Amino acid sequence: MNVKIGNHNINYIDEGSGTLLVMLHGWGSNIELFNGVVNFAKKGYHVVAMDMPGFGKSDEPAEPMNVDAYVSFVLDFIKELYPNEKEIIFLGHSMGGRIIIKLASGINEGRIKTDFTIPKIILTDSAGVIPVKTAAQKKRSSRYKFYKNLITKSGLIKIWPGAMDKLQKKFGSADYAAASPVMRKSLVMAVNEDMTPYMPAVTQPVLLIWGDADTATPLSDGKKMEELMPNAGLAVINGAGHYSFLDNLYAYNKILGSFLGIKM
């Protein structure tokens, strides 16, 4: 399905009936990866998931989007398609979790006005905790800054415009290297924003589902969120990585079903 939200053509799915359950995917991902979860959750809920701007089959934004911009997009999407919903449950993976944390905290604190409430939240291998850099990462960061200063201050960037792009690809993450210039800026803004100050304001019942082998957002992040969110509980899937719902769909759906009241 397709809908126009602002200047973006947005691809989305809409299945099932009942209380609205909105799923937000992670960085570099898309709604197709949620298929196994959607097919299970739609047995008890009205499930909606969209490819956010810059991902999947949706349009890329003309300007970089930070977390606040993605929160605004989600609200615009809901206002356009589901304006009469009074309760919406949110499920987010990775970057999607980061968006939900900021959205829920803003609603709870009155910074964001909506016509709906959020009774429950599910965060899966969620982003939001800024990692502590290892010695190797600090060294790599220092090397990047050295070469960046060399390129800009020496004037090399004027005679070789692609130098900075090559440098960023060399020292950036795989997600960064694969992204367009607009999405690279979006990624930098997102990963550099610490969500921990917002977590105590997320007072809804929160189910945290984590793979213990997750290296992108390690299990320690889930434990941190459980500490900071007043009504959060952490469920761990042994042997699963950052995409715990793909690595062990059965275990994931069993945990999710227990929280949402859906039978396997």
Structure confidence by residue, pLDDT tens digits, 2-20? 999 999 999 999 999 999 9
Q: Which of 39, 28, 41 is nearest to 91 (CA)?
A: 41
Predicted pLDDT of residue 141:
53
Per-residue pLDDT tens over the stretch 84-116: 999 999 999 999 999 999 999 999 999 999 999
**pTM attached to this predicted model:** 0.86
Question: Is residue 167 over pLDDT 60?
Answer: no
List the structure tokens of 18.
């009942």
Give the length of the chain.
Answer: 264
Predicted pLDDT of residue 138:
45
**CB within 8 Å of 99: residues ≥ 6 apart:** 24, 67, 70, 71, 74, 92
Question: Is residue 133 over pLDDT 70?
Answer: no
Question: Is residue 228 over pLDDT 60?
Answer: yes
Question: Is residue 160 over pLDDT 80?
Answer: no
**CB within 8 Å of 120: residues ≥ 6 apart:** 89, 204, 205, 206, 207, 259, 260
- 115 vs 149, higher pLDDT: 115
**Domains and their CATH numbers in the chain:** 2-130+192-260 (3.40.50.1820), 135-186 (no CATH)
Taking the C-alpha atoms of residue 9 and residue 101, their distance in angstroms, rounded to an integer, is 25
Task: Look at residue 76 and give its three-state secondary structure.
Answer: helix
Per-residue pLDDT tens over the stretch 194-224: 999 999 999 999 999 999 999 999 999 999 9
What is the arithmetic mean of pLDDT over 132-160? 57
Predicted pLDDT of residue 145:
58
Q: Residue 132 — very low, low, confident or very high, per pLDDT cuts 50/70/90?
A: low
What is the arithmetic mean of pLDDT over 110-135? 90
Q: Which helix (H) or strand (E) holds 185?
A: helix 181-191
CB 67 within 8 A of CB 98: yes
What is the arithmetic mean of pLDDT over 149-164? 60
Predicted pLDDT of residue 102:
98
Question: Is residue 193 over pLDDT 80?
Answer: yes
